[in-house]
Structure 1
Amino acid sequence: MNKPEHEFFPVSQVAWTPAMGGTVPGLFERILATDSDTGVATRMLRFDPGTNTSLAGPQIHEFWEEVYIVEGSLHDLTLDRSFPSGTYACRPPGMPHGPWIAPDGCITFEVRYPA
């Protein structure tokens, strides 16, 4: 299976759903395209104001992840650094990151692909 073909469409047509199985209150995702066989995905991630991912701990993936902060900001609790809109990360497999807090909320655009 591959990601589906999509021509331009309003992303507002895709519902926000709880991310991480709903284990982090205030964290939602909008899956724009995915391949369930490979785990490849393109999504938007929304942190409502005050969302804190500490309960989930640092994240480590078996895939590449690229993240662009579209609006708001994220504060990395491990690094004790804040990252505003307009910043970007490219994370290789195995790179720990987070947990995060979004005091004023945040929306990211993410692309995930296999190693």
Structure 2
Amino acid sequence: MKAEYEFFPAGTGQWQPTAQHGVTERVLSRDPEDPEILTRLANWAPGLDTSAAGVITHDYVEEVYLLEGELHDLTLGKTFRAGEFAMRRPGMPHGPYRTGTGCVMLETRYR
């Protein structure tokens, strides 16, 4: 289970690299027993293209809110912008994506 936190400034601290090239993160909370379960700010670099990874699925619920920039879904042929939200159940296919400007999103994962 994630630890309890009272309000703190989420926009501070260094962006940390992730396994996905071109994506950095600020983890706001994480389940120490299940590291995929987290809430984070994810920063996608301008020009990032995830085509090589293909369509994505995972075994957790994922909620994503775009805070800045844009994200183009190559499968759907649609571009999503700041202020848009996605909720994905386990196993829901999504992506791949491309972003020209880069984007920052709030992402929450849970089971």
So what's the TM-score if we normalise by structure 2?
Answer: 0.90
Aligned-residue CA RMSD in angstroms?
Answer: 1.4
Between the aligned residues of both structures, percent identity stands at 45
In 1, Cα distance between the equivalents of 2:12 and 2:5?
Answer: 13
Shift of 1:63: 0.6
In 2, Cα distance between the equivalents of 1:103 and 1:77?
Answer: 13
So what's the TM-score if we normalise by structure 1?
Answer: 0.87
Aligned length: 110
Listed as ranges, the matches of 1:26-37 within 5 Å are 26-37=22-33
Letter in 2 for 1:8: F
What residue in structure 1 maps to residue 14 of structure 2?
15
In 1, Cα distance between the equivalents of 2:56 and 2:92?
Answer: 8
Q: Does 1:61 align with 2:58?
A: yes
In 2, Cα distance between the equivalents of 1:30 and 1:74?
Answer: 19
What residue in structure 1 maps to residue 79 of structure 2?
82
Q: Which moved more, 1:47-56 or 1:93-102?
A: 47-56
Letter in 1 for 2:13: V
Contact 1:14 1:31 in 2 (8 A): no
In 2, Cα distance between the equivalents of 1:58 and 1:27?
Answer: 17
Which aligned segments of 4 or more residues in structure 1 are displaced greater than 4 angstroms?
none
**Which whole-Å deviations, capped at 9, do the CAs of 1:7-56 have from their partners, x for residues lacking one?**
1112233321122x2x42x2111111000323421011111111111222
